[in-house]
């Protein structure tokens, strides 16, 4: 059951627009750039990047960070693509990419590479913070045991005195889909569904367990720069995916983003989506 305090918390959403690493789109890079160091208070927008590696295994991410210049060049050469978003500190945010975007990434994988899609969340310049890599789609069980697409992952950002310290995927296992060795468990971590049976990409689909659109609810833990304790991460941990799905459905409806956006976003948000590429230009990363 969703608590009254959590249900009344303002919920935000942004869409993830995937673009080529070395391309450019019209948006404010200074505001969106995740490769910055700062401290945040409750309600501040916190820039975070999501990097997708088509054909990259989780182990290939070892030691790499998209904000480190040398690593950025390597990842660019490997076809890694990124999206930016700015969730408000300690306000539950839903990030979403579309099946069409993932289809495009999977289609870009060279014939001699694994047919898998992995990702990391990242932020920081000198204070480099990065999540573990996670597999969200696989068509090659020889690398990931299971095959299919992961509908959702919960991301928690921990701040200490407002400074980002960790980006953590909420602990999951594959108990619900037959265990770590089942054909529905990707890389021993996350339950996947068959792409053919996921629910339509219709804008009204909000069930996180069966939707075609990969969704990441994001919460916060730790303290802001004024030592205010952040609780959205703890609250989202207490909720099942079903409860989070119901919260989404009860808080707002899905609406098309319009314009040149490749994705969709949830209506009624307080701030517009900020999405784009990570460029190799020093003028972007400062």
Q: Is residue 266 part of a domain?
A: no
Which whole-number Å values give the CA distances from 232 to 93, 182, 282, in the listed order? 10, 32, 34
- Would 92 be classed as within a structural domain? yes
H/E run at residue 149 = strand 148-149
Residue 263 maps to a domain = no
- Predicted pLDDT of residue 111: 96
Q: Which tens digits make up the pLDDT trace of 89-139?
A: 998 888 877 788 889 999 999 999 999 999 999 999 999 999 999 999 999
- Predicted confidence at residue 13, as pLDDT, reads 44
Domain presence at residue 278: no
> What's residue 257's pLDDT?
29
pLDDT of residue 243: 56
Please state, in angstroms and rounded to a whole number, the distance separating the CA atoms of residues 98 and 107.
14
What is the span of the domain harbouring residue 90?
4-257
Residue 264 lies in a domain: no
For 120, other C-beta atoms within 10 Å of its C-beta total 25
Low-confidence ranges of the chain (pLDDT < 50): 1-28, 203-205, 250-286
What tens digit of pLDDT does each residue of 26-42 get? Answer: 344 556 789 999 999 99
* Residue 286, in any domain of the structure: no
Structural domain count, the chain: 1
Quick one: three-class SS letters along 103-142? HHHHHCCCCCCCCEEEEEEEECCCCCEECCCEEEEECCHH
Beta carbons of 251 and 267 less than 8 angstroms apart: no
Q: Is residue 173 part of a domain?
A: yes
For residue 285, being part of any structural domain is answered with no
How many CB atoms are located within 10 Å of the residue 2 CB?
16
């Amino acid at each position: 059951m969703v608590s009254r305090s959590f249900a009344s918390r303002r919920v935000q959403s942004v869409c993830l627009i995937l673009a080529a690493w070395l391309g450019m789109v019209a948006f404010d890079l200074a505001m969106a750039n995740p490769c910055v160091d700062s401290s945040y208070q409750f309600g501040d927008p916190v820039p975070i990047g999501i990097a997708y590696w088509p054909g990259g295994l989780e182990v290939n991410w070892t030691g790499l960070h998209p904000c480190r210049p040398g690593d950025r060049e390597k990842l660019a050469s490997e076809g890694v693509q990124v999206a930016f978003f700015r969730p408000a500190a300690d306000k539950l945010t839903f990030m979403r990419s579309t099946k069409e975007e993932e289809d495009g990434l999977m289609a870009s994988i060279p014939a001699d590479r694994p047919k898998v899609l992995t990702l990391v969340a990242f932020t920081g310049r000198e204070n480099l913070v990065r999540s573990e890599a996670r597999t969200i789609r696989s068509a090659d069980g020889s690398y990931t045991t299971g095959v299919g697409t992961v509908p959702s992952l919960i991301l928690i950002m921990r701040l200490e005195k407002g400074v980002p310290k960790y980006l953590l995927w909420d602990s999951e296992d594959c108990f619900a889909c037959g265990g770590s060795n089942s054909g529905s468990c990707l890389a021993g971590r996350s339950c996947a569904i068959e792409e053919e049976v996921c629910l339509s990409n219709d804008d009204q689909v909000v069930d996180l367990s069966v939707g075609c659109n990969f969704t990441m609810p994001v919460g916060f833990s730790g303290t802001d720069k004024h030592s205010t304790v952040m609780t959205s991460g703890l609250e989202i941990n207490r909720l099942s995916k079903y409860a989070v799905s119901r919260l989404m459905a009860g808080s707002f409806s899905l609406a098309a983003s319009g314009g040149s956006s490749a994705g969709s976003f949830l209506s009624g948000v307080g701030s517009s989506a900020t999405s784009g590429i990570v460029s190799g230009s020093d003028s972007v990363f400062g």
